Amino acid sequence: MTDLLTNDAHVLSSMLADGSLSCVELMQATLTRIAEANPKVNAIVSLRDSDQLMALAREADNSPRAGWLHGIPIAIKDLTDAEGLPTSQGSPVFAGQIAQSDDVLVARLRAAGAIIIGKTNTPEFGLGSHTYNPVFGATVNPYAPSRTAGGSSGGAAVALSTGMLSVADGSDMMGSLRNPAGWGNVYGFRPTWSLVPDHPSGESYFGHISTKGPMARSVKDIAALLGTMGGIESGLPYGMTVPDLTELDVDVKGRRIAWLGDWGGAIPMELGTLDAAENALETWRGIGCEVEAIKPPFSIEEMWESWVTLRSWTVGSGIEALYDNPKTRDRLKPEAVWEIEQYRKMPASAVQRASAQRSDWFRAAARLFERYDAVILPSAQVWPFPLDWDWPKEIAGRQMDTYHRWMQVMVPVSLIGLPALCVPGGFNAAGLPFGLQVIGPYRGDRGVLELGQAWHRATGWPQKRPPQL
């Protein structure tokens, strides 16, 4: 990539503000990099016409600065509407369907001056942590082109790691921005649930287990983008204001970190993944944190029972109309059909039980965070797997009984909406990247990002080890 595009977004923003860089120069460099890299990785889809984008860059150069993102190119995850661009959701059912308006997230990015250049690839309906679909094909891992980039924000992670974007949006139900961040050697932040609002449409009260969040190559960019994405939306019955995220460079010496590893052996891990994560703990100790391995604070199987119920309830209810329509049923991926069928046979008592189990885990986690500032878990149970797999069917001799059981390590965060930053953890001997989840208490977003900034100062993995395409 060009030297210009190795800069973080906040650096590019300063250069644009002081006139040492023009929006036209940045857009031209971005389009050149996309032309070089994207054919090899397939991360950005529905790219807008280059002449049109250059015209928008010229317009930005001749307009007052709208915000810190003024003139910075961004592509939107293809689950979110951006006016004038397709929102395929990776599904042939929606291929080519043009959004007539912006979702709240996109409107906030535009208001801050971002130029929307296209979309980033995602699996069909965002289901599964492997970015492939029948509309655009697979996004490949730039560190190992025969392997997956993860998902569902796989396109965003790869666009960041290859320098095609400096910041990106992701979304996360079951690790959808944490997993690809770890496998892409970048950062992905799942904020406390409700800090970044959904688009106000449809049912707004029940079943909330997903959230949008920022992705970037530095924690400062994560914080800046979170400030733009987050905050209360008047059309929703919930929400949070963004905490003060300035001055993240603080001394974290003495902060207590709990290491949960494989949850006392309950979560199967591929050979080498746990060792790599445990080796990375030495970096935390090196920056002055106190790291302690602890026993599981709650039953992972109870969490799983609650999670599968609430996820199928949420996903199935959202797409069941496609199942009922004979013109679209046969075009749904098997995982989507499974979620709908699970939802339809679910009694109300199962949802109540799942909610009670979730509540029990929330209270147990609150007690845990009375003793620790953060909890760390691996960001994946396996190394990036071959592109031609649908999903891992077995880990360490244990069969996976659902298409998403191999992502169980993500559930403790997702089930109760805790803030979690995936930080790049380094690489194994084969050159495959991995990540760590740094998890904080509910509404503890700033503390998590402070730890993440300390980690970035100590490691700088995205800058030290960019992919060589």
The predicted model gives 285-306 an average pLDDT of 98
Residue found under tokens 């006016």: 83
Question: How high is the pLDDT of residue 222?
Answer: 98
The predicted model gives 6-29 an average pLDDT of 98
Question: How high is the pLDDT of residue 453?
Answer: 98
Give the Cα separation of 123 and 359 in Å (integer).
30
1 has pLDDT over 70: no
**Nearest alpha-carbon partner for 281 in 260, 267, 252, 300:** 260
422 has pLDDT over 70: yes
Domains detected in the chain: 3-464 (3.90.1300.10)
pTM for this predicted structure? 0.97
Assess whether 20 carries a catalytic annotation: no
Assess whether 50 carries a catalytic annotation: no
94 has pLDDT over 90: yes
Assess whether 295 carries a catalytic annotation: no
Residue found under tokens 């500032």: 373
The predicted model gives 66-84 an average pLDDT of 98
| Encoded tokens for 126 | 């965002």
- H-state helical runs in 325-444: 334-344, 348-368, 411-416
Q: Can you say whether residue 310 is alpha, beta or left, with left for phi > 0 and alpha for psi between -120 and 50 degrees?
A: alpha
The predicted model gives 448-459 an average pLDDT of 98
The predicted model gives 57-86 an average pLDDT of 98
60 has pLDDT over 70: yes
Tens-place pLDDT, residues 372-387:
999 999 999 999 999 9
Q: Which residue in the list 152, 194, 210, 312 is annotated as catalytic?
A: 152
Residue 321's Cβ-count burial label (10 Å; 0-12, 13-18, 19+) is exposed
Question: How high is the pLDDT of residue 207?
Answer: 73
Across the chain, what does the average pLDDT equal?
Answer: 97
**Looking at this protein, which amino acid is placed at residue 158?**
V
Element (H, E) at 73: strand 73-77
The predicted model gives 347-357 an average pLDDT of 97
Question: How high is the pLDDT of residue 2?
Answer: 63
Q: Which residue in the list 129, 176, 210, 317 is annotated as catalytic?
A: 176
